Structure 1
């Protein structure tokens, strides 16, 4: 193997462990062949190569560029992934596995009324920081989702469901995710995600002349919006029952 080939050792420890766990859960390649140690290591190399390319904003992310970075031929890569969406979803799996420690855990304890804004801000800041660490990958996912890639759209929805569910709980409700009372939590989440999308997109910020503007320009209003929604929910506001 080329000593410069991608390696999990060059990834942050938590992400590297999540990649290893994700690859260990795959038992066969696309040809139906059972994956042994060599096959799992090859899959890990492909994911490490994809992550390195995604983290290099000046390089295109394509199946061929990933294969070159991983020192593999295209035939070998097609043994594991049929297209770019499938590969990106495989990268997203270990990335999203770190979301619990990154931001979800902050929502699991009931936030005291007297500290509500501070708790909302801590969550919004943690969610922003997670997006900032994985900005290009998450923007690629959302771009494909906006283009109606069904697999990416499904992923985008599925990763927001836990947040919406926990926000509903913070509002003092026990409504299932498809209940009417999730409307406010859903609207808050849409607003927070969209504002963080802007805050973590350097190209968009440059285009609208917002380079150098503090992320708090977006994060503080997002936290305030979340606070107001939770307070409304806890007060039993009639607006949440329509």
Structure 2
């Protein structure tokens, strides 16, 4: 076998390995997201090899985020993908651009991850149970993707405009569905919209805390303390907000 064929075969195995390390749902989301990109940064149209290489980079980055073993940088992603840094720069000019490419397929799994819980109207007599189920599913999504989401939020807090926009955009469907659960329509300045935003901010911040081991240590939360105490508190606050809004529309 020629050296070129051996290298091509090794590249195919690398591509397959990184996608195979992801869940089937996430692997499909990575493929769909990468298929929508038509050109690399040099303006060259992406053929099959180019799209597969982009998949390989994104999948390697997701894998690296999940390991929590080393800082995620362009260099560490290139090493994990088995590519040179120059090759990676053909697809991603900076870390923020790569993070956005990783966030796209990860957030595509939000529907099955937690949004589906919000789409059926919650009956009054089971309101707390449904609020708790939503908060639990949102926490599970964060726990699966904590390093990626913490990095996004950290960059957003540093006024990275692209990350700020992503954070807002990814939260908007949750706010809209919570307002719908309240029996209202979303409108800027409306009390129920503001209430849903405030409650969701509190839920996200508490989940941010319990999924960040360094922050837990700084505020004195012992490792053995069950996260459920915060999840139940968030569910209770959400239940109160929805009951209050539903009472106003009765």
| TM-score where L is the length of structure 1 | 0.94
**Which is further off, 187-196 or 70-79?**
70-79
Residues 8-47 of structure 1: CA deviation (Å, up to 9, x unaligned): 0111111101000001111111111111110011001101
Question: What does 1:146-165 align with in structure 2 at a 5 Å threshold?
Answer: 146-165=157-176
Residue matched to 2:5: none
Q: Which residue of 1 aligns with 2:102?
A: 91
**Distance across 2 between alignment mates of 1:124 and 1:184:** 16
Any unmatched runs of 5+ in structure 2?
Answer: 1-9
Distance of 2:82 and 2:137 partners within structure 1: 36
For residue 21 of structure 1, what is the aligned residue in structure 2? 32
Distance 1:74 1:149 in 2: 23
For the aligned residues, what is the CA RMSD?
A: 1.4
Post-superposition offset of 1:166: 0.5
Q: TM-score, normalised by structure 2?
A: 0.91
Equivalent residue, structure 2, for 1:240: none
Equivalent of residue 237 in structure 2, options 225, 228, 242: 225
Where structure 1 has 5 or more consecutive residues not aligned to the other structure, the ranges are 238-242
Alignment correspondent of 1:133: 144
Inter-partner Cα distance in structure 2 for 1:197 and 1:129: 12
Aligned-pair CA distance for 1:71:
1.6
In structure 2, the partner of 1:10 is 21
Query: 2:207, 2:149 → 1: CA distance?
Result: 11
Assess if the C-alpha contact under 8 Å between 2:14 and 2:56 holds in 1: no
Q: Give, in whole Å, the separation in 1 of the partners of 2:169 and 2:119.
A: 18
Which of the pair is proportionally richer in helix?
2
Deviation at 1:4, TM superposition (A): 6.0
Cα deviation for residue 56 of structure 1 reads 2.1
SS of 1:157's equivalent in the other structure is helix
1:212 equivalent to 2:224? Answer: yes
Q: In the alignment, is the contact (CA less than 8 A) between 2:33 and 2:104 conserved in 1?
A: yes
Q: 1:4 to 1:19 in 2, by over 3 A?
A: closer
Task: State whether residues 18 and 63 of structure 2, in contact with CA within 8 Å, keep that contact through their aligned partners in structure 1.
Answer: no
Compute the displacement of 1:179 (Å): 3.9
Structure 1 residue runs of 4 or more that deviate by more than 6 Å after TM superposition:
none
Aligned to 2:154: 143
Residues 51-85 of structure 1 deviation map (CA, whole Å, 9 limit, x = unaligned): 12212212111111111111212221111101000
**How far did 1:208 drift?**
2.6
